[in-house]
Amino acid sequence: MPLEEKERIIIPGDNGEEHLFEVLFTFDVDQTGHSYIAVVPVDQKDEEEVEVFAFRYEDKANEDDLALFQIESEEEWEMVEEMLNTLQDEETN
């Protein structure tokens, strides 16, 4: 069975460099109306311990691009972490 090709996105860094990330999943939170994306760096995806990055995102009108926003509030982080844990549990079962 062929491996499912994961979606990849490029996220610019602080110094103008570009980083390639593999999308783990996206999800919406009905209570807030916000959408979130969880990604891992492509160069780390085969390592045992990978750093997962999560952002709030919005689709840009008339573009295939996303606007990414840092998650800043503690409540928002807790909600995102809870969702990540739930999704990871579903994947391993």
> Which residue ranges make up each domain of the chain?
8-92
Burial, 85: exposed, middle or buried (Cβ in 10 Å; 0-12, 13-18, 19+)?
exposed
Tokens representing 52 are 């997962």
Give tens-digit pLDDT for 32-47: 889 999 999 998 867 7
Band (91; pLDDT cuts 50, 70, 90): low
Q: What percent of the chain has pLDDT over 90?
A: 29
